[in-house]
Amino acid sequence: MNLVLTGSTSGIGWEKVKGLYPFFDKMILPVRNLEKAKSLLSKLPDQRKIHLVEMDLVDMKSVEKAAKQIASEFSKIDVLINNAGGMFPAGLRTKDGLDQSFAVNHLGPFILTKTLLPNLLAAKGKVIYVSSEAHRIAKVTKADLGLLRSPNTINAYSNVKLYNILMSRYLVNQYKNQGLTSYSLHPGAVRTAFGSDSGPVAKALIRATQLFFISPKKGAETSIFLATEPSEKLVNGAYYVRKKAKSPTKIGMDIELGKNLWNFSEEILIKILS
Ligand SMILES: NC(=O)c1ccc[n+]([C@@H]2O[C@H](COP(=O)([O-])OP(=O)(O)OC[C@H]3O[C@@H](n4cnc5c(N)ncnc54)[C@H](OP(=O)(O)O)[C@@H]3O)[C@@H](O)[C@H]2O)c1
Domain borders along the chain are 2-273
Percent of the chain with pLDDT over 90: 90
Report how far ligand 1's centroid is from the alpha carbon of 268 (Å).
Answer: 24
Q: Check if 79 has its Cβ closer than 6 Å to any atom of ligand 1.
A: no
Is the pLDDT higher at 196 or at 153? 153
Q: Which residue in 40, 98, 88, 60 sits closest to 194, CA to CA? A: 88
DSSP 8-state symbol, 189: S
Burial of 10 (0-12, 13-18, 19+ CB in 10 A): buried
What's the CA gap between 60 and 87, in Å, rounded?
A: 18
DSSP 8-state symbol, 137: G
CA dihedral 117, 237, 103, 27 (to 10 degrees): -50
CB 94 within 8 A of CB 58: yes
Choosing from 112, 194, 224, 246 the residue with most ligand 1 atoms within 8 A of its CB, the one to mutate for a pocket test is 194
Q: What is the pLDDT of residues 123-143, one digit of tens each?
A: 999 999 999 999 999 999 999
**What is the band of 274 on the pLDDT scale with cuts at 50, 70, 90?**
confident
CB 159 within 8 A of CB 138: yes
Q: What is the pLDDT of residues 182-240, one digit of tens each?
A: 999 999 999 988 878 887 888 888 877 887 899 999 999 999 999 999 999 999 999 99
Report how far ligand 1's centroid is from the alpha carbon of 103 (Å).
Answer: 13
Mean of the per-residue pLDDT values for the chain? 96
CB 218 within 8 A of CB 242: no
Q: Check if 109 has its Cβ closer than 6 Å to any atom of ligand 1.
A: no
SS3 236: coil
* Strand 239-241, strand 244-246: pairing: antiparallel
Q: Check if 82 has its Cβ closer than 6 Å to any atom of ligand 1.
A: no
Tell me the pTM: 0.97
Q: Check if 202 has its Cβ closer than 6 Å to any atom of ligand 1.
A: no
CB 206 within 8 A of CB 259: no
Residues in the chain: 274
Report how far ligand 1's centroid is from the alpha carbon of 83 (Å).
Answer: 7
In degrees rounded to 5, what are phi and psi of residue 168? -60, -45
CATH of segment(s) 2-273:
3.40.50.720
